Structure 1
Amino acid sequence: AAISIPIAGGECEFTRFGFRNLFVSGALDIAQPDICAAGGLSECKKIADMAEVFGVRYTPHVWGTGIAIAASLHLLAVLPPHTRSSPISVAPLLEFDRTENPLRQAIVTETIEHTRGIVPVPNGSGLGIEIDRKALARFARR
């Protein structure tokens, strides 16, 4: 409350129950659940709905594989713009990590990229991506 910089967090929190505590205490301005850790698409949609009720923006934490990126894009595609704490409508944002990570794009047959800041939602069946099984096998522990 003492600073005007919005506080983002929650990437290490799990399920809507953990996020509820953060929302009730007013600890976050921007919720950042990780779809791969917080319970998947259904649970993260519940977290996003709860964030809206508490007036908290929702920007998923996305770090890992192309699978996580695809799942997060599909979730973001169904979220409404955030309007509570701003006089203008703010579309949900994707955290699009570009640090070195050989696993991120190697296991999907088509890489997920942005064009002028826009990342299209994959439109194939399921999450819209296809897993490269041979590439996945290269990362297997033996």
Structure 2
Amino acid sequence: VVPYASMILLSSPEERAEMALRLMEEGWKAIKIRIHHATMAEDIRTVEMARDAVGDGMTITVDANQAESNGTWQPGIQWDYRRAADTALVMQDLGVYWLEEPLRGFEFDQLAQLNASVRMPIAGGEGLPGLHDFFRACQQNVYDILQPEVLVLHGLTAMRKVGTLAEFHGKQIVPHNGGGNLGVIAHLHLVASWRHAPFLEILHDPPIGDYMQGFSIMKNPPIVDSDGLISVPQGPGLGVEIDHDLIKT
């Protein structure tokens, strides 16, 4: 499975360019960068510098982080439709793979309008709590890429149903991060089983958010190798063994 390194913090263009280059040199094939600075110009510069740093050697995706009802939980501003549409047009010209959560999560009409106006896929759905919400999103063509979250949908059964919905409607599916540890492992199994799932999200923004920190509760965690791939654990259940002694301490 191909994982992508999901940045946790909103950061400067220079820092993100440096991080993208370092991750590419380590073997990572894709990165997701947060873009909700105070100005669109800084968002654009962040992606431009990352693209200049890695060339065509890495897939770049971007996250506006606007799904919450009160906007982003990090520094930055809440987008309106014009900010989302203008940004989307620039991002697609920069070869960005998708724009994630450019508007509030339940603004389906505006999201569908935006999705219809650009070639680049619009992604989202991390906060949608039920199968009926994803059905509506598919019916209205809100997203080209669905991003369900196992911790929000409360289990693998609902996740698999969303995967079926996505396939039926001709959409890709890339699960939202999964909380950083066992949820990611659950997503790893699902992504490996779906033909229409191009990536696995892994929160990885060292030094403040190395993915191995979340995986430290496991005795046999899967590791992103030098080819930028991560293997599905082969043990019983989710395939990993919990380090109960570590948890007790």
TM-score bin (small chain): 0.7 to 0.9
> What is residue 117 of structure 1 aligned with on the other side?
228
Residue 6 (structure 1) aligned with residue 116 (structure 2): no
Q: Which has the higher strand share?
A: 2
- TM-score of the aligned structures, taking structure 1 as reference length: 0.81
Q: Which has the higher helix share?
A: 2
Q: Which amino acid aligns with 1:93?
A: F
Residue 104 (structure 1) aligned with residue 214 (structure 2): yes
> What is residue 53 of structure 2 aligned with on the other side?
none
- Count of equivalent residues: 129
CA contact (8 A) 1:66 1:111 kept: no
The offset of 1:3, in angstroms, is 1.6
Structural mapping, 1:2-81, within 5 Å: 2-80=117-195
Aligned pair partner of 2:239 in 125, 128, 138 = 128
- TM-score of the aligned structures, taking structure 2 as reference length: 0.48
Structure 1 vs Structure 2 CA RMSD: 1.8
Q: Which runs of 4+ in 1 moved over 3 A?
A: none
Structure 1: 5+ residue runs without aligned partners?
A: 83-90
Identity of aligned residues (%): 33
The offset of 1:104, in angstroms, is 1.0
Structure 2: 5+ residue runs without aligned partners?
A: 1-115
The offset of 1:96, in angstroms, is 2.1
